[in-house]
Structure 1
Amino acid sequence: MTENGATPLGELVAGCRAQMENDLCELFEELGPVLTQVAITRINTSRDRAESRAAASLKLALPTQWGRVASSLRANLAARAVHATKSGYGLADQENLRLLSAAEESVQLAMREVLDRVTLACRDETKPLERRINYLVLRRAMQPGDKTFNVAALWSCIEAACVEVTTDTGPLILLLQLIGDQMAIEMPQLYRVVNEAMIEADILPSLKRSYRDPVPVDAHEVAEESTKVASALDRLVQARTVETGARDMPKSGTASQELFNSLKTLQAVPQAGTPGTHTNVVRMVRDSGAARDVKPLEAVTLDIVAKLFDLIFSDPNVADGIKALVARLQTTVLQAAMLNQRFFADRGHPARLFLDSLSVVAVRLGKVVNAEDPFYLKLSELVDKVQSTYDGDMAVFDSANAELDAFLSECEERDEQQNRALADAVLAREEEMRLKREAQARAQKVADACIARVLVPEAPFEIEEFLRSYWRDVVQSRISQTGEEGAPTVEALQVATDLLRSVTPKHVAGDQQRQAASLPALLSEINVGFDEIGSAPTERKAFLDTLLDLQLAAMRAKNAGAAKAIKAVKARPRGAGPTLQVSHATDVGVRVQDISLPASEGLDGENIPDRADLRRVRQLVRGDWVDFTTVGQTRRERLTWINRSRTLFLFSNSASPCAISITPEALAVRLKNGTAQIVKLDRPIFERAIHGAIRSLDQRA
């Protein structure tokens, strides 16, 4: 920590407080319709008559009374700040002590439970924040006992504001419970922003979260979860024992040995299959003769692992490339589970640690896996090593975990150095970028007009999308460099014309021959354009594969534009309002795509960011992941840098040759139109599947 005075630190605290309180009040301004809809659902689904009556009361009161809650909340937050400055927290509470009525006591008891739930949800952020607050108290930037960021202090302001809707005990309790559900989701985000601001100010940066962990975990939570899993396993084994109690059990070790022999045989056979489809080998083992007479515990283990892989293979959030790696580990996972009864309940088991590491890399790769990506290649190498050498010795997994951890540390250090250099380069030309955006807007408008002149009504939808996005960026870049009449621009427009011609049905043999001869040159020019704008390999391959299909259809004289009639409704109409401004430059050897929003004058509703989306952007912190989608192709990028004024965000990913610098307003527009999506980190893949499998079997037992 550098030697900062109390005044700058006090300004930092004030800024964090202002943003947190403003975001909280914005949330409440938007919450009314959501709560009304939940109340309507409760009326229709609740079996508790008292709750149904309370929900009906809220349904009537919320539309007319909710508008007063946000203003009351702002007033309460301002009052607590003044009170804290004048008299300190806690004194007034003692002065106002009084006996509660029965109704008030009911509300207080219910609210204690809600507050506990919200506090628990915020715990991973409030714990490090408490240590930073203690540091700031020592530096005299905050007063002892200051509850500016205390969850309970904020909740008391929320609770006091909600009496604007109703003071009836039942409806008030239900209202606060519903708000608690929302706050358990939203408030951790508010605390993340505060922690990140203090990390950026170099206040105890060693407490910074580890972005390698998909989701923070707590030791007590892990212990409690393990106990629940072990208890569920015991119930399943008891149920299976009762089910098979009348049958003769196998001699000790005979069934297990036969089963293990079959597993070793399967383990030595490479897992093959059609891309995108994965055979559940464990289910085949479970249904084989070798597993017919296994002990109850072994039978339950087979059921759980079979169900586990069913869930993973059907999970839409897991990329096919990751599923392919998982499929190669099926017999290994089954052996590890059968050799250790605590496998399912013990997150620290070496095999579990390795399996969870797949999720760490899966987060980086997203739903589209590039088989040439270094991270994927390393995982594939380690999976092969584990699958081919595992013989029951956990040292195989220990070695794989150590090797993967060293690899990730090395890669992240290298990425961090490149990101710092890239951020410095972007920062150095930030003002230049801002000044050039007017010229970029003019170039983009000309490029849009050029593409519109080239397009023909019968163009396939996929080709039109490509020309209006990727190729428009190529044309715009060339216009900026050489003008509309420059040879590079003319060549780019000729490529667009040739591309459209290449997907037009050919009915004459001579036309087919000429097209076949011209395709290599056309594809070469398209790849040059992709290089100029730094497109990711997966995006490039996806378009070229689609293009090949369309060109083959054209060679066979089929109407490749049929899809356009179906999908044209999704395309942006010609002459529509301004779109996001995009330009490209090279910094420290990396292509940087700069995305901004034009001046607000003349923007249509589609291009005006929503306040809720702007708030979500404000709440992003370094290390967050965002999926950017262009022409149906998704690229996952990590937020690696934010300038001090938070007017420019830099996203990058070592798996992509192109970084993205984007303004908050532009990112909010992309969130609004669905071409960007903030990635919500979930529990590791195997952990989700294990809990899902055990829960499913336990419910049936």
Structure 2
Amino acid sequence: MSTSSYKNVVDMSKFDKLRAVSGASGVPLLNDCRDMAAAQLAQFAAAMLDKAVNELFEQAEKSLGGEMRNLYMDGMALARDEKEAITTGFKRQFIQGFNKHIRKGKYAQPSSASSFNLAEMELSLIDLDALEESLALANITNNIHGTCAEELFGIEKRLGTLLHVHELDSADNPIGPEAIGSSFMEALKELDSSVKVKLLLVMMFNKYMPDQIKNMYQDINQHLVEKGVLPKIRVGMKKHGGSAARQPEFHAAGATGSEPTANGPDLFATLQQLVSLGNSGMAGMGVPQQAGQPGAIGGTMPSDGAAVQSAGVMSTLTKLQQGQFEGVLGEGVMLNPALLANGRTNVLREIKSSGMASVMGHVDAMTLDIVAMLFDYILDDRNIPDAMKALIGRLQIPVLKVAMLDKTFFSKKAHPARKFLDTLADAAIGWDEEEGHQGGLYKKVDHLVQRILNEFEDKVGVFADMQEELESYLAAEKERADELTGRSAQVVQTREQEEIARIMAHDEVKRRIESRKLPQIIREFLSHQWASMLSLTYQKSGEDSQAWNEALETMDQLIWSVVAKEVPDDRKKLVGLLPNLLKRLQQGMAAIDVTGDERDQFFAKLIRCHADAVKSGLRAEDEEAWQDTDIENLAEETEVVAEAPTDFEEITPSPEAPAPDLALIQQISEEPVPADFDLEEVPISDVPWQANELQNDDSGALVAKLKRGTWIEFVQADGTTSRSKLAWVSPLKGLYLFTNRLGSRALSITPSRLTEKFRSGQAQIINDEALIDRAVSDMMGRLQQVA
């Protein structure tokens, strides 16, 4: 064919490309998508790092172990100090990856979740950092896929149109989860920090970024729709390939604002990868594996028999759960019925080693592995008392069934079954054997567990019903506990006020009697009787009250009245002052119940003190002017005061003491505290307001940041342990009040004494993180170590 003939040939592919974009230019639109994504990702990352600084600092404060605390502090410092470097690097890596893809026609990053090849990983197991980074990237990718499934469907269809690709694979999407994850991991590689510290930022990324990325995808979809790129996507079009296990059919795929209908198997997928990697490694070392076990030969069932197989396994599990062993044991399932009932043995391990595991499909066998590891942790968890742990252990088969039915059990914190387990474990932390098994919390939990065993087949809603009933019970129990805690707080606050009042009175008296020479009778009176009077006044009226100021003024006038009167004006002033002074002294002594004889003896001696004060100050020429008759007049005045009626309330009104400021108590009971109320108090050994001046070390900082509701385990002198919850902190920060779960036993302690207990190991905070969160975190760590 001649060259001129080629000029008459129309390239239909070019025509199709132009038609697909509906007249819009593809490159500018691709650049729009790149710029929108890069700008928003940098913005989201900066906000995420700000949150990470605060959250990692809080985690560091909660951590008792020095290694974990240092790790969290390093992560906080990295997020704070390298914020600009991370966001800039993230944006740069994303743009470079995008441009490279557009130029070469394919996405080329160092690694991606879609290329997470177990066989390749086995060859590089010695490089643990690379393994950690690969797993982190897989986790990021799965999280974004799980959150943004619907938005990604539209994104990939529309970008495929712009890139002239009929079916754009997730790994080839230049703004897809793999591209974003790889860009963030590459940005972290540029930092001079350990992999473990960087993985803390990956954890923060997975927590805060997917929802923001979902919004970004919605914006890009909307922009492309407005530019005429696939305004409508045909209902029922399905995505092929990718990291997500399943993509749904959408009524309006890619439309902005709607929620994805896909389950997010992100965490489960990561656990699968780790379990498979571990099992593959064991197989390579010659460790035998069960048929049906992940990684075992012949473990995968044909797809057309998977549903029948799964139904059969579920039916068998339901029979075991409900105690129907007769037919099941005849099917080759060799289990000890006693193990299923006691809840103290990991029966899932028994099921795995029985004949039942051989008929499980690949995914079910993988799920069995993961849930067995979950209960390994639960049954070893020292936070939960053994008796309560046994009750939770009876739920092993129901939880396995839940996980087989719904993989979001692992990643969805609000999942009914997961929430129920978390609530059970949280309530059990403070349970004590003394409460007994015949009533209270133990009996309620036993009842709820038995109902699940009897009723649960394949409807997860039964867990939601049990959760509602448990929450109702715990709320009623908390109301009763709060009432008792309120009474304990009143006792503690009263004792603390008494102690502060005593110290205030002591300081006021000491400062005065040490500054001048006074008669012994006056010194003794002020140090004992009047100090008691001052303490009582401070308790009832406070430091800023008129009654307190008048009591101090009376003390000052008494001291002035017994010092030498060297000028006539002072002597005249004394005569005018005495009637009211003596009256106040009389009333004050009556308020603290000084006996009549003791009072009369004091006033008789006080008369002599006044006479001595006058005589010692008289000049020689004035001695004759001051006769004994004047002293007798003073004595008569004293008798008049002694006979005057006493009305202490006029001087020191006694308003009712305010109720303690308990945030967790809505209304403190007005009932009197019973005489036999069980309130144990560690004696106050330091001044309450000085107790806040804690030593500047980890233990002091830990005590200063304790929050209400924190559970602490105390080691007793005999080596036994007890658990108490911080229920209240006094307004003056002088005392911490701890109670048991029911509020029926209370312990008060000063901050300094509590710090000493933490420092010596006699006190330890009980981790209040949700049970399943702790278990999954532990699983991830152990699986990575095995890998």
- TM-score, normalised with respect to structure 1: 0.44
* Structure of higher RCO (CA pairs closer than 8 Å, 6+ residues apart): 1
Say which one has the larger Rg: 2
